Structure 1
Amino acid sequence: FELLGFEYTGNTPFCLGNCLNKERTKNILRSFKIRTPKSFTFHRNTGINLKKFDLKFPVILKLLNEDASIGISEYSVVNNPDDLKKQLDFLSGTYKQDIIAEEYIDGRELNVAILGTTVLPVSEIDFTGLPENLPKIVTYDGKWIAESTYYTFTKPKCPADLDKKLKKKITTIALEAFYALSCRDYARVDIRLDKSGRPYVIEVNPNPDISEDSGFARAAAAKGISYPDLLNTIANFAINRKKNDSKSQAV
């Protein structure tokens, strides 16, 4: 689009590329002193070698270059080296991709939708009712398989119950992550709180679902923004950029 001179909504290829690679995302966040779980990347071309693995269990395993919770299941959180090796072998053999492991933050999970420079009401994933033997995470089934246990017992709540101090802390770190990854127009920052209430950025999604029944639209509605107004706002970001570009060229 840029090469053709077309303006478009959403984030740039530069931003999308950085956010799609979870290791790169974390390195950028760390360079801005933004807290994110400690991680370790397993590269397929070098084989799975646990000798240098230095994370504390439990850890969660994710595909390095996927979104939409692809590859995330009840087996993604592992508690010992044997389970780690088993899940690594499964992911590597099934998806043929690099894998990132990160120390699992066992606490509340918050989703922060950002529209332009406005932080919309924070959402929280409610894990109430999820069987005790299952890790409290958002899995692929939880997002997409309606008849699954995870889909039934991982419900978003918006706005989340946050005290004023914590809400400010979450809002601040979400905006810091948004700008650190050079996001624009709209994005979602996913955050986990540890047992002490410290926030960790676990994901920056520069291309979140904005369909009418999406979490982003739900957060906008909680702010009093109707769905048509949400789409108009996003479209106007691109329209205004085009107008500004035209003015610059005219000068």
Structure 2
Amino acid sequence: MKKNKILVLVHPLLIPPENAPTIKNKEFEDWSTEFDVISTLENLGHDVLVFGLYKNLEELIETLKSFGPDIVFNLLEEYAGDVNKDAHVVALLEMMNIAYTGCSSKSLMIGRDKSLTKKILAHHKLRTPQFQVIQKKDKDYQIGQRLTYPCIVKCLHEEASKGIGQSSVVVSEEKLRQRVQFIHESIGDDAIIEEFIAGREFFVGIIPGKKAVTLPVWELFFDNSENPEKEFYTNRAKFNEKHRKKLGIRTDVAKLSASEVKAIQKMCLKAYTVLGLDGHARIDLRMDEKGVCSILEVNTNPNIGIHDEYALSANHQEINYSGLISKLLRAGFQRLK
């Protein structure tokens, strides 16, 4: 790949510090993905400029004009604190005819709304848990009769397991209403209630291109848990090093038969296609005790740090990290052609 001028778009608080290369256990730092991507691009010989965007949209436009990047590597997950506005920044790049990595503004808007995603999946006969959305403005709401306990209460728009803890799984209407109130008041988001599926959890990364391809099915393990089928990926399980060691939390290639892998990958590619996605994505699923898989979430522009599931599964397929980053760059250029 030829050397390019690349503007890396990040949240200003996630710009890696100057001493980042000397810090141990970087994977638990908030800026770990940003460091992995930026350092890899630099090691590949690209001319890299890191830009921190919060509300300074005019400054971004001026920088795009003055720096003249060949492509923008988009690591943004919000704009001005609003997770629903990252798609607007991508729309700006589209209007300026600037190449960028990741999903288009349309894909980001679809992927960000878990309710809309589930409705589209269900329409196309792709299994997903029964759900109900409770908006912040809904003060006198009723729980749908189709929902059966246990349920899990999550944020409708937030990602990275924000707001998800052990109390998220509820077995009564009283606890459900308490958790909905927590999402509304403490997180500031609408709530989505889903039937909780006890079982195994999988992740399937998808690499974009003229023909999207799936990465190996990746599985979440709780080696030290007495009831791993009841565990799930809380915020603490993802990012708390001590908690991860205590429960033996790790991810690795899924222990499945070849036919099961093929079926899951086919299911994920269909989901990617019917949702009209066009950038890198990760699809999260759970398999119940009968071996039936349901799609939990479709993550547009998922975390792509070296230690994240997306990159780990790519590496298992003999795509090293530099190769993965280069593939995402090529996909961004291809879209502009």
- TM-score (ref. length: structure 2): 0.68
Q: Counterpart of 1:147? A: 242
Question: Which of 175, 191, 201 is equivalent to 1:83?
Answer: 175
Q: Runs of 5+ in structure 1 lacking a partner?
A: 245-251
Q: Secondary structure at the match of 1:148?
A: helix
Q: Specify whether residues 191 and 48 from structure 1 end up closer, same or farther in structure 2 by C-alpha distance, changes over 3 A only.
A: farther
CA distance in 1, matches of 2:109, 2:165: 25
CA–CA separation in structure 2 for the residues paired with 1:160 and 1:177: 20
Q: What value does the CA root-mean-square deviation take over the aligned residues? A: 1.9
1:126 is paired with a residue whose SS is: strand
Aligned-pair distance for 1:77? Answer: 0.6
Q: Please list the CA deviations of residues 95-119 of structure 1 after superposition, one character each: whole Å capped at 9, or x if unmatched.
A: 2221000111111100001112211
Mapped to 2, the partners of 1:3 and 1:152 lie a distance apart of 47
Q: How does 1:114-133 map to 2 (within 5 A)?
A: 114-116=206-208, 117-130=212-225, 132=227
State the match for 1:33 in structure 2: 125
**4+ residue runs of structure 1 moved beyond 6 angstroms?**
none
Find the counterpart in structure 2 of residue 214 from structure 1: 308
Q: Given residue 335 of structure 2, which amino acid in structure 1 is its aligned partner?
A: R
Greater mean alpha carbon deviation, residues 43-52 or residues 143-152: 143-152
1:97 aligns with 2:189: yes
Deviations 1:116-141 (A, max 9, x none): 22111111000221354994100011
Structure 2 runs not aligned, ≥5 long: 1-92
Matches of 1:63 and 1:12, distance apart in 2? 22
How far off its partner does 1:149 sit?
Answer: 5.3
CA distance, structure 2, for counterparts of residue 234 and residue 6 of structure 1: 15
Q: Within 5 A, what are the aligned runs for 1:86-235?
A: 86-116=178-208, 117-130=212-225, 132=227, 135-148=230-243, 152-157=247-252, 159-235=253-329
Asked if the contact 1:59–1:102 (Cα under 8 Å) also holds between the matched residues in 2, the reply is yes
Paired with 1:94 and 1:239, the residues of 2 have a C-alpha distance of 40
Aligned match of 1:63: 155
Q: Is the 8 A contact 2:200 2:229 kept in 1?
A: no
Counterparts of 2:106 and 2:143, CA distance in 1: 34
After superposing the two structures, state which structure 1 stretch, 91-100 or 124-133, moved more. 124-133
CA contact (8 A) 1:139 1:150 kept: no
Aligned pair 1:21/2:113, yes or no? Answer: yes
CA distance 1:9–1:131, shift in 2 (3 Å): same
Q: Verify the 8 A CA contact 1:143 1:151 in the aligned structure 2.
A: no
Q: Tell me the CA shift for residue 152 of structure 1.
A: 4.3
Mapped to 2, the partners of 1:84 and 1:97 lie a distance apart of 16
CA distance in 2, matches of 1:236, 1:102: 37
